[in-house]
């Protein structure tokens, strides 16, 4: 009985550690960015982000102050470096890069930074979002919904297995 209680406490503690170490924790970190963080320069063709560790499942969104998105296709990661193409010449203005990556330890990390484009020849209000291009929802919720779904499915599967085991025992005993 005591061993069971200790195991349960350990399981709860482990779950608490996993849940508390949320996406905001710095499991890896952004080391360098191009265009530079807070920089002002001509329109870039690419956003290149360099992290402290190799990253995977990367996502980079590039948006202007009106919320229009300028990234072209999915980002791609090679070791510590993530690259995102830009669909067209950016007009002058302030842009936000929102990134999300998964650390080597499996934890998602995300952040944003801004840069300014100056000296561009592109028209200021050019409609740049291609038809069919979808914007992903902002925020961290997608990761946690996925985790919660996995936990619920896992618990449900466990309950089914336990019930089947009890039924089998009852059938064998009767
Ligand atoms: Cu971590």
For the chain, the structural domain boundaries read 25-155
Residue 130 pLDDT grade (very low, low, confident, very high; cuts 50, 70, 90)? low
The two tokens of residue 48 are 């290149």
What CATH class is the domain 25-155?
Answer: mainly beta
pLDDT at 84: 98
Q: Which residue has the higher pLDDT, 149 or 77?
A: 77
Q: Which residue has the higher pLDDT, 30 or 146?
A: 30
Percentage of the residues of the chain whose pLDDT score is greater than 70: 63
pTM: 0.58
CA of 21 to the centre of ligand 1 (A): 7
CB–CB of 26/109 below 8 Å? yes
Residue 97 pLDDT grade (very low, low, confident, very high; cuts 50, 70, 90)? very high
Instruction: Give the mean pLDDT of 132-143.
Output: 52
**Average pLDDT across the chain, whole number:** 78
Residue 138's nearest CA partner among 59, 30, 46 is 59
Residue 125 has pLDDT above 50, yes or no: yes
CA of 147 to the centre of ligand 1 (A): 14
Residue 7 has pLDDT above 50, yes or no: no
CA of 83 to the centre of ligand 1 (A): 22
Instruction: Give the mean pLDDT of 19-42.
Output: 80
CA of 62 to the centre of ligand 1 (A): 25
Residue 48 has pLDDT above 90, yes or no: yes
Report the side by side order of strands in the sheet with 93-102.
40-41, 108-117, 93-102, 56-64
pLDDT at 145: 58
- The Cα–Cα gap between 70 and 87 comes to 6
CB-neighbour burial class of residue 116 (10 A; exposed 0-12, middle 13-18, buried 19+): middle
């Amino acid at each position: 009985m005591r061993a069971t209680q200790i195991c349960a406490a350990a399981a709860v503690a482990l779950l608490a550690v996993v849940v508390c170490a949320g996406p905001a924790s710095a499991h890896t970190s952004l080391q360098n960015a191009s265009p530079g963080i807070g920089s002002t320069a001509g329109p870039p063709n690419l956003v290149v982000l360099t992290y402290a560790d190799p990253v995977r499942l990367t996502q980079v969104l590039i948006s202007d102050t009106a919320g229009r998105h300028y990234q072209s296709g999915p980002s791609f990661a090679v070791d510590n470096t993530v690259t995102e193409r830009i669909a067209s010449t950016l007009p002058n203005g302030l842009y936000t890069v929102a990134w999300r990556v998964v650390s080597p330890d499996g934890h998602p990390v995300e952040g944003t930074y801004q840069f300014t484009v100056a000296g561009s020849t592109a028209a200021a209000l050019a409609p740049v979002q291609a038809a069919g291009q979808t914007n992903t929802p902002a925020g961290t919720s997608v990761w946690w919904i996925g985790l919660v779904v996995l936990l619920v499915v896992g618990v449900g599967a466990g309950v089914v297995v336990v019930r089947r085991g009890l039924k089998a025992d009852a059938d064998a005993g009767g």
